[in-house]
Amino acid sequence: MSDWLLSGAPRAAACDLYCFPHGGGTAAEYLRWSRDLRTARVHAVQLPGRVPRLTEAMPASMRELVEAFLAEVPLATGRFVFFGHSLGALFAYEVTRALAAAGRPLPARLVVSGFRAPHLPYPGGQLHRLPDDELLDAVAGLHGGLPEEVLASAELRELAAGALRADYRVLETYVWQPGDPLPVPLTVFGGEDDRITTEELEAWGEHTSAGASVRRFPGGHFYLRERPAPVQRALAGALASVRAERSAPC
């Protein structure tokens, strides 16, 4: 289908769910959701610069990333839903904005996780300019989420630092551009112990004319790893609402 996607098996009457990874993340984490989200066909987005796309350079800006994605990914022809965590939330949001600007079909729902509303100032600095070891230490201190086996291996540390550097360059050079609210309902998730506040999550409501809801889960920035079951149930509920709103299977 596309180098950008790892997709689960087709399922009758299932929504197509596109999962956009966090900074430094890979598609594999979200493809595992296929086992538990029985009402969805999961399409996990695989960014350039990580297995199996190690030889490909990550686009240098969010605009270039969105353009490359939409030029190469054949989105589902029926109804679909976007989910993105952290950097993936911003990526999914900007892809949705680009679809709207082009007059193309929009996701039936946008689920964003672990990221403050995009018009709010990003509090980070210039992590993408740090040397590898300092970059890994800084990201681990901010969010955690780096497996011990990665930190213990020189080769894996180098690969992880390269992916994080490319992703943080996209994030730290991003400048939100004002525009019309999306005619797409928003579901907003966050961790109760994350640095992102409830107010910063609720501010996503300014970016939709179709309503937004916010839910926080126990855990930190990677709450969805710490206790995946309630997150997947909530996501399944969001998918179910899509079917109910349209009075037909996805």
Q: Give pLDDT tens digits for 129-149.
A: 888 888 888 887 777 767 777
Q: Is residue 219 part of a domain?
A: yes
pLDDT attached to residue 38: 84
Distance CA 124, CA 146 (A): 18
∠ CA 85-205-32, rounded to 5°? 20
Residue 249 lies inside a defined structural domain of this protein? no
pLDDT band at 243 (very low <50, low <70, confident <90, very high): low
Q: Does 116 reside within a domain?
A: yes
Q: Count the domains in the chain.
A: 1
Determine what percent of the chain is predicted with pLDDT higher than 90. Answer: 59
Q: Print the domain residue range for 193.
A: 5-123+176-243
pLDDT of residue 147: 73
DSSP 3-state of 79 = coil
Q: For the packed helices 87-101 and 62-72, what is the interaxial angle rounded to 10 degrees?
A: 60
Residue 156 belongs to some domain of the structure: no
181 lies in a domain?
Answer: yes
* Averaged confidence pLDDT in the chain: 90
Q: What is the per-residue pLDDT for 97? A: 98
Question: Which residues are bridge partners to 41 per DSSP?
Answer: 16
Evaluate whether residue 28 is within a structural domain.
yes
Question: Would the pLDDT of 246 be above 60?
Answer: no
CATH at residue 114: 3.40.50.1820
- The pTM of this model reads 0.92
Could you give the CA distance from residue 147 to residue 28 in angstroms, rounded to a whole number? 14
Q: Which two tokens stand for residue 250?
A: 């996805």
Tally of helices (H runs) and strands (E runs) in the chain: 9, 7
Residue 93: inside a domain: yes
Residue among 1, 9, 53, 11 at smallest CA distance from 21 = 53
Which residue did the predictor score with more confidence, 122 or 103? 103
Q: Is 45 helix (H, G, I), strand (E, B) or coil?
A: strand
Domain-located, residue 30: yes
Q: Where does the pLDDT of residue 1 fall: very low under 50, low under 70, confident under 90, or very high at 90 and above? A: low
pLDDT band with cut points at 50, 70 and 90 for residue 247: very low
User: Of the listed 34, 61, 86, 241, which one is catalytic?
Assistant: 86
Strands 186-191 and 109-113: parallel
**86 a catalytic residue:** yes
What percent of the chain clears pLDDT 70, i.e. is strictly above it? 96
Nearest-5° Cα angle at 167, 29 to 214:
60
